Every structure is written in C-alpha cells, then in structure tokens.
Amino acid sequence: MFLRKRPLLFLSVILLSTLVIAEECAVEIQNEGKGMHIVMGNCKNIGTFSLGGIYNEKWEKLTYHYPMPWEGTFLTISVDDKFYTNSMDPEEGIRMDRYLEQYATIEENKIWVKWMLPEDILVEEILEMIENSTLIHVKITNKNPSQRFDVGVRIHIDTMLGDNDGAPIYIPGDGLKETEKEYSGDYLNFKYWKAYNRKDKPNIVATGILDLNGKLTYPDKVTIVNWKKSMRSVWDYKINEEMSILGDSAVMLYYNPRPIGSGETMEIITGYGSGEPVLKNVSGITEIVLNKISGEYCPGEDVVMKVDVGSRVDFQGLLGVEIRNKKGILFYSKNMSTGVIEAESIKSMEFDFTVPEDVSLDEFNISARLYSAGNLIDEKSSRFSVDASRCVLPAEKGPNWFLIALFIIAVSLLIFMVYPKKGRVIIEKFKEGDTVRVLVWNKSKNDLRNCIVEDRIVEGAEVSISTMNVERSGTRLTWNIGTLKSGEKVTLEYRIKDVNVLPRALVRWDGGEEISK
C-alpha cells in the first residue's frame, strides 16, 4: 500500500532546523474574516499548495497536508507535445522548478509565482483569496517572437475534508460519487462540485466553482479520481468506474490545448473553498441541472432537467415539476414517484420538455416540489430562456455545380444507353370480330431488353389465346418477349367473345414503356 506519511525520529536540534526550513519554504496568507488560508510551496515543487477553511471557529483541511504545502495538488502545462509540471509526483512530467522566474510572492490577497519555459512561454500561477474561497488563476503568455504553440492546463486537486482523505464528491445531476467518473461534452453541464467529510450529516464541505456568471473559465473535462492512482499521470488518465475514491479522492480539471500566437495570452480561472451541504433538511431537493450550462435554448430544442433529491433517512415521495413563462402561463407539468431513496444518498430524476416551435423570445421558470404523504416538504426553482435570434442556422450553401454537372452527365449517359436512339416503339391494339391483336413494333435503332407486353381483359370474359407463352392472371395477360431487336415486330393474339370494350395494352422494357391508344 502506498503510504504518504513516514514516521521519522529526529534529534531536537535537527527538528528545530527542519521547522525553520519548513517555514521559509511555505508562503501563506490567512484571513479569518474571509474564512480562508492559502499555503504555497516555495523551495521545491514550487507553486503546489494546500487550502484550509474555518468551520465552527476551527481551521480545517480542504486539501491534503494542510497547513503545509503539498506536491499532490499541482499543475500540468501542456506545450505542444511536452508536459511541464510543478510537482515531483508525475512520472513523465518535466519539472518546472528549474525554469522558475519568480519565487512565490505575496501581493495583498494573492500569492504569485512565475516560470519561463524553454519555448519562451511565461506561466503565472496566482492564488487569490476571496470570501470563503480561493480563485486559482493560471495565466500563460507566449513571449516567443515567431512561434505559435498549442497550450493547455490541467489542475489536480487532492481533496481532504477534515480528517477524511477519501471525501465523496457530489456532482449536480449525478448525485454523490464514490467511484471514479469522467464528465465531458454533453455530460459536463454543472456549475459546481462539492466534497464532503462524510455522507452522514457532513459538517465540513468544500465547493469547487466552475462557473460564476461567466467570470470563471469553464473546463473541457472534469474527472473524479483516486489520488493514489492518478498522481503519477502528467496529463492523460484512464478512469476506472469501479475504482473507489473513498480511500483517497481527488478532482482533475482539464482545459484543452489551444493555439497561442506570439504575444498572445490565455488565462484559466477556477475556484475552490468552503461550502455548505447541498441537503439542508432531512429530505429535500438539492439541485436542478439543465442539459445546457448557459440555460439558453432555441425553438424546438429539448430542455432536459435533472432534479436531485436527497435524504438522510430512507425516503419515498412524489416529485412534481412545472414550467411557466414570465406571464405565468403553464407550459409543462409532470409528477413522478421518487421510488425508494436510501438513507444518506442522492437520486437524480430526469424530466424532458420541448420548447414549442412558435416560442421565439421568452423566459421560463422551473418549479420543482417534493411531497411526502401529500405534504409539501421542499421546493426549488431554476430558469432558462428562449431567444430565436441567437439560434444561428447553418449557412445556406450555394449549388454544388460539380455535382450538378456530374448528375447531368450520368443521366445523359443513361438515356443514351437505354432509350431508343432514333425512331420510336409502336404498340397498337385492335379487334376484328372476336379476334384481338396487340402489335408491338420496335422502330428504334436499339434492341429493347427485357421487353414485356401487358394487356387487360374484362373480368369473367371467355378468352382463347393463340400466341405462345402468354400467362393469364385474373384480368391480366402477360407476355414476356425478352429482347425485341431493332425493326422487329411481334403480335399478341387471342379470341374473346361478347366483349366490345378494349382496355389499353402496355409494352415496357429496360428504360422505357409505351401505351396503346
């Protein structure tokens, strides 16, 4: 088993010396009023850090190793095909300590550190204290006068809540997670995540802030991982959804590489700090999550709502969801049984609504209400909007003249091959007494392949067929001629009594047909 802590025996003089060095190697800012304590490493693994928060007037761990810096909470900077990291933990990373430009420096409520990578890429990490949280800034500037680079960022946070190093992680719309999980694309639609010191009545809770009214940088991927398994990875990490995180949990935020030209800057900002449990009562609604993080939809688009219901005891109730526009007009109403929700768990329940096509501009309110034994015990609301003017339709493309020309050539070739070049195909039907004849004459220059003559007769009529190989089926006579050569004539002949009506006859072949007059 991997052990983080190794008990060592020191002489008192050595112990005193170690404490002095440790103090010099840690830069910190602490503010009881803001409820945050930030500690950054400044000797080795520079820029790695730990965070603490106040709970019940006591400083508690929000990341591992607090109140000392910790190499397990670190950055990875991707530059083209290279990966730089400020921690010694990843096996294949290039250590950033050797490229240090500025040691950790305190500026008011911020700790600031800088590196200059060999590509002339300036990396700045700023930990900024705000009320009950820390904003993690990563600012990257391309100082290279001529080259462009693809640059990305990964932030690896080793969560620890109080004494629990294996904190369960709450994901809005997916519940409380105890195993590894990855969120990206359509599955990455939540604005925050939380870590608990325990499932049962948590009293130490941290909140990771992903979106704050557009002021933060929304990640491309969020992964919940087992720290002992993920710590050695420098960038890519393959999750195992059966791997428990309860022994040692961590969260990784990915910001995919994008091109940074000479003189250009990219900045990543995310937040992590103190928080409150999502469940404030014994049972209740913890969150409403939409399938679009923006909350902006188009006419005809599907609005998928996930309503999280949590309980500290075994619970079964009824969940109702209504959608009304700003005028109060009801557009959607649905009730759904919660089923059995086990104690100390959160269940996500899905509701679907399609925006009417005739709604072009409106705002909607979602009301979720939770009932137990017919009594309302909790309610929560959310909003979304519809604005057709923001719904950009795919640009209409002009005609593809190449394909049109190709089609015309193909059709012309087909006509040339299968349609008679000159002349025409004649079919005539006439009656003399009781004898009926159908004459087919190929006056074209082409042979007619798969040539078939079809004729209709009156139902119940008595017919005597003179021509060979003619089949009768009800009121239809069918003569399969095969190939009718150019200039060739053929005649279908039969006798019919007491019939004066002559339905039209038909001759068809590969590529055409003619009907008698």
| Span 9-49, pLDDT tens digits | 333 333 333 333 344 799 999 999 999 999 999 999 999 99
CA distance 491 to 463: 16
With 0-12 / 13-18 / 19 or more C-beta atoms within 10 angstroms meaning exposed / middle / buried, residue 241 is: exposed
The answer, yes or no, to whether residue 7 has pLDDT greater than 60, is no
pLDDT tens for each residue of 348-399: 999 999 999 999 999 999 999 999 999 999 999 999 999 999 897 554 455 6
CATH 1.10.357.10 fits 283-390, yes or no: no
25-275 against 425-515: fold identical:
no
Q: Tell me the pLDDT band of 415, cut-offs 50, 70 and 90.
A: low
Average model confidence (pLDDT) across the chain? 89
CA distance 40 to 111: 8
The answer, yes or no, to whether residue 169 has pLDDT greater than 50, is yes
Q: Do β-strands 49-55 and 318-325 pair in parallel, antiparallel, or remain unpaired?
A: unpaired
Domain ranges of the chain: 25-275, 283-390, 425-515
One of 3.40.50.300, 3.30.565.10, 2.60.40.290, 1.25.60.10 is the CATH number of 425-515, namely 2.60.40.290
* DSSP symbol at 99: G
CA distance 34 to 52: 11
Q: Tell me the pLDDT band of 463, cut-offs 50, 70 and 90.
A: confident
DSSP states along 45-74: STT-EEEEEEETTEEEESBTTTTS--TTSE
- How many residues are there in the chain? 517
pLDDT tens for each residue of 424-441: 889 998 888 889 999 999
Secondary-structure class of domain 25-275 per CATH: mainly beta
pLDDT tens for each residue of 192-248: 999 999 888 889 999 999 987 788 999 999 999 999 999 999 999 999 999 999 999
Side chain identity, residue 214: G
- Pick the range with the lowest mean pLDDT from 52-61, 80-89, 411-420: 411-420
Phi, psi of 108 (to 5 degrees): 55, -110
Task: Give, in order, the Cα–Cα distances in Å from 239 to each of 173, 180, 195, 224.
Answer: 20, 6, 19, 8
